[in-house]
Amino acid sequence: MSTPDPDPDELLTIDETMALLKIADRKVLSNLRYEGNGPRFVRVTSREIRYRRCDLVVWLESRTRTSSRPGA
């Protein structure tokens, strides 16, 4: 029996997002949000942030490269 595909609109917590992206430090996500360079996020309350799984996929795809040369 196969596992169903995850819901692309599922809202992930910061800890779940960090685990999925394999990020060890909360400050990394915080800085990405502050600088506007990270994945789109949902501010559920003034203190609660969530990330849609589909937005994480889109963000990762936008960061995929074929060369490490600057400007490539």
So where are the chain's domains? 11-62
Task: Assess whether pLDDT exceeds 90 at residue 4.
Answer: no
Q: What is the mean pLDDT of residues 36-63?
A: 96
The reported pTM is: 0.85
With a cut of 80, say whether residue 2 has pLDDT above it. Answer: no
User: Residue 14 and residue 16: Cα distance in Å, rounded?
Assistant: 5
Question: Does residue 14 surpass a pLDDT of 80?
Answer: yes
Tell whether the model's pLDDT for residue 6 goes beyond 90: no
Residue 11: pLDDT over 70:
yes
Contact 65, 72 (CB under 8 A): yes
Angle 50-16-5 (CA atoms, 0-180°, nearest 5)? 95
